[in-house]
Amino acid sequence: MYNILLTDDEKIVTDSLTMILNKNFAEQVKIFTANSGTKALEEVRSKNIDILFMDISMPGISGLEAVSLIKQMNPNIIVIILTAYDKFQYAQQALNMGAFKYLTKPVNRNLIIQTVRDAMNAVDDERGKQTDSIKLHQKLNVVSPMVESDFIYSCIFNNGNTDFTDYLDYFGITDSDYFFACLEVPDTAPNNRGSIYEKIREILSSKCRCIIGSFMGNRVTIFFPLASGGMDSFSEKIQHELMGELFTLLSIQISAKIKIGVSGIEHNIEDAQKAYNAASVLLNKIDSSGGIEFSGLQNIQQGNSQTAKPAQKLLTSIRLGDSANAGEYARECATSILAEHKDEPDKIKGALFELVIQEKNAVVELNPSYKNPAIDSAFSFFEKTDSVQEQIQYLAERSMECALEIQNLKSQTENPIIKKALVYIEEHLADLQGLEPLAQTLNVSPFYLSKLFKEETGDTFINYLTSMRLEKAKKLLKDSSMIIKEITAGVGYNDQNYFSKLFKQRFGVSPTEYRAKATSN
């Protein structure tokens, strides 16, 4: 069976191709359609597409831009360009990107049939190679983690004389582009690291190709190779989407407080140590609540420096299930997009539409059956709606819906006792005296609650309580009407000196210094 995606904004074209393919390959093909480059990207991400028909001129991103992104996601996909453009420069660009054929409209039915037959043969050849590769991989399964850790160690502690050639040959890496990610799992007990490490490998390997180092303390370093030759803005878009998806899965399946620092994209393996250091520095910037930090956010898209950071903030809030703030972040992001494209309504619509699709994808990664009729009709909404205020309101509503869905998914995986405990802690930060009173309130033994708390949250009760109190203190310090003694008592401490010491240990500055900096901004 071959999965074929037909992409064209003219329905008559996709209908005609569907009819030809079903008539000549009825039992061999499964047909999917898309009316834009953005929709094609979504289909390729969610379906195992073997053969792709792509038009060049379409709304939103062009067909060639879409092909470049898709080839990075799935280098083995067979791409057939079918377009009215017969200019040599387009054909050359498409073939340079790895297109299998470049056909110009109108095209003969027999040529379509022969091209699809040739594409199927190419798919069969690739499947044969993959089968051989799987057999070899099974033999190397025991050795690979050790070689991966050795490679990561060599990158981190490179003295300038390290030859990476044998490593890259072993892993079959021929492209030069790559990036590093540093991942931290808070308060990981040594006896749990083996199972957590296997889970990390399982999640990462299911989504992408990467090289994973072993635990160093509570951190794991990962090397992600990328297909070379694409524009940097496209590569970074793939990087951000991939790492956002992985962050969501890891935070739900391993720890809600997981932290990831992601380096920029490098083009020379000799710069591996620099890339690792950049990822490590970004990781250290993330506070105890967890999160993900990217290098070079201003380069997510060319010419899009104003909107990159608000967009990342919005998508992170969606993945964290932060429904309380998602609407506000959506409006901030929309304001940035409006400022970026003041007199370009089509670009504004395109950027907002793409955000909605990315939000839905974040939910679908966790719940493949997720349906939202309002999002499913997003294309027609933006096509028909010219009111900017209505567009912003639409984005805010969809953002809150997606965040709420992820919030609900997260809550379903939590133990009901721990859910009650977390709510009680948040409501009684100022007067909670310790684990025993909490256990008594929940009608469980302190020993059982302590054990359950660690298993469910990945953190000890006292560390979690301290983190919550200090995070609340940070918020209260921004209110200049409260003196530090009041804040100390308000977050559950009787001794101001002890509170100040804890605060400085956690954040590197005293409460007074933090307040001065926060109120001056």
- Which of helix, strand or coil describes residue 19? helix
Per the CB < 8 A criterion, the answer to whether 477 and 516 are in contact is no
Q: Residue 15 contacts by C-beta under 8 Å, 6 or more apart in sequence? A: none
Tokens at residue 491, please? 């977050």
Q: If pLDDT is split at 50, 70 and 90, which confidence band does 235 have? A: low
Tokens at residue 409, please? 């998914």
Mean pLDDT within 196-203:
90
Crossing angle between the packed helical segments 232-253 and 193-207, to the nearest 10 degrees: 140
Mean pLDDT within 302-312:
57
> pLDDT value at position 107?
82
Tokens at residue 144, please? 């690979």
Q: Residue 355 contacts by C-beta under 8 Å, 6 or more apart in sequence? A: 311, 314, 315, 330, 333, 395
Highest mean pLDDT among 76-80, 246-250, 381-385: 76-80
Whole-number Å distance between alpha carbons of 243 and 518 = 30
Q: What is the dihedral of CA 261, 262, 266, 270, to 10 degrees?
A: 30
> pLDDT value at position 223?
96
Mean pLDDT within 105-110:
84
Mean pLDDT within 362-384:
83
Per the CB < 8 A criterion, the answer to whether 282 and 259 are in contact is no
Q: Check whether 298 has a pLDDT greater than 50.
A: no
Cis preceding-peptide flag for 75 (omega within 30 of 0): no
Write down the CATH number for the domain with range 2-138: 3.40.50.2300
Per the CB < 8 A criterion, the answer to whether 178 and 155 are in contact is no
Tokens at residue 373, please? 């009729």
> pLDDT value at position 205?
87
Biggest CA pair distance of the chain? 84
pLDDT tens per residue, range 41-92: 889 888 889 999 999 888 777 888 888 888 888 888 999 988 887 666 677 7
DSSP assignment of 349-403, as one string? HHHHHHHHHHHHHHHHTT-TT---HHHHTHHHHHHH---HHHHHHHHHHHHHHHH
Per the CB < 8 A criterion, the answer to whether 58 and 8 are in contact is yes
> pLDDT value at position 209?
87
More confident residue, 503 or 289: 503
Q: For the purposes of burial, counting CB atoms within 10 Å of the CB of 511, is it exposed (0-12), middle (13-18) or buried (19 or more)?
A: buried
Q: If pLDDT is split at 50, 70 and 90, which confidence band does 365 have? A: confident
Amino acid in position 50: D
- The sign one gets for the Cα dihedral 153, 159, 164, 166 is negative
> pLDDT value at position 391?
93
- Which of helix, strand or coil describes residue 237? helix
Per the CB < 8 A criterion, the answer to whether 244 and 319 are in contact is yes
Mean pLDDT within 157-177:
81
Q: Check whether 222 has a pLDDT greater than 90.
A: yes
> pLDDT value at position 179?
94
Q: Check whether 513 has a pLDDT greater than 80.
A: yes
Tokens at residue 5, please? 């995606």
User: Which residues are paired to 325 by β-bridges?
Assistant: none
Per the CB < 8 A criterion, the answer to whether 223 and 279 are in contact is no
Q: Check whether 382 has a pLDDT greater than 90.
A: no
Q: Check whether 32 has a pLDDT greater than 90.
A: yes
| 20: nearest Cα among 92, 74, 98, 80 | 80
> pLDDT value at position 304?
40
Mean pLDDT within 382-408:
90
Q: Quote the radius of gyration of the chain (alpha carbons, Å).
A: 26
Q: Check whether 228 has a pLDDT greater than 70.
A: no
The tokens 């390729």 sit on which residue? 44
> pLDDT value at position 301?
35
Mean pLDDT within 116-132:
81
Q: If pLDDT is split at 50, 70 and 90, which confidence band does 302 have? A: very low
On the CB side of 317, CA atoms within 13 Å amount to 24
Q: Which helix (H) or strand (E) holds 112?
A: helix 109-140
Tokens at residue 423, please? 């709510």
Mean pLDDT within 318-328:
85
Lowest mean pLDDT among 4-18, 130-144, 229-243, 296-310: 296-310
- The chain-wide mean pLDDT, for the chain, equals 83
> pLDDT value at position 519?
78
Mean pLDDT within 303-328:
75
Per the CB < 8 A criterion, the answer to whether 275 and 269 are in contact is no
Mean pLDDT within 204-210:
87
Mean pLDDT within 418-429:
88
On the CB side of 212, CA atoms within 13 Å amount to 20
More confident residue, 274 or 222: 222
Q: Check whether 165 has a pLDDT greater than 90.
A: no
Pick among 3.10.180.10, 2.60.120.260, 3.40.50.720, 1.10.10.60: CATH of 416-520? 1.10.10.60
Mean pLDDT within 479-492:
89
Q: If pLDDT is split at 50, 70 and 90, which confidence band does 296 have? A: low
Q: If pLDDT is split at 50, 70 and 90, which confidence band does 442 have? A: confident
Per the CB < 8 A criterion, the answer to whether 156 and 273 are in contact is yes
Mean pLDDT within 233-242:
72
**CATH superfamily of the domain spanning 145-293:** Reverse transcriptase/Diguanylate cyclase domain (3.30.70.270)
Q: If pLDDT is split at 50, 70 and 90, which confidence band does 476 have? A: very high
DSSP assignment of 277-323, as one string? HHHHHHHHTS-TT-EEEES-GGGSSTT-HHHHHHHHHHHHHHHTT-H
- The sign one gets for the Cα dihedral 500, 506, 509, 512 is negative
Q: What is the dihedral of CA 98, 100, 106, 107, to 10 degrees?
A: 180
More confident residue, 310 or 473: 473
Q: Residue 281 contacts by C-beta under 8 Å, 6 or more apart in sequence? A: 261
pLDDT tens per residue, range 336-361: 888 888 878 888 888 898 888 888 88
Amino acid in position 364: V
> pLDDT value at position 137?
58
Domain range list for the chain: 2-138, 145-293, 303-413, 416-520
Q: Compute the residue count for the chain.
A: 521
| 211: nearest Cα among 282, 154, 264 | 154
| 90: nearest Cα among 80, 102, 78, 79 | 102
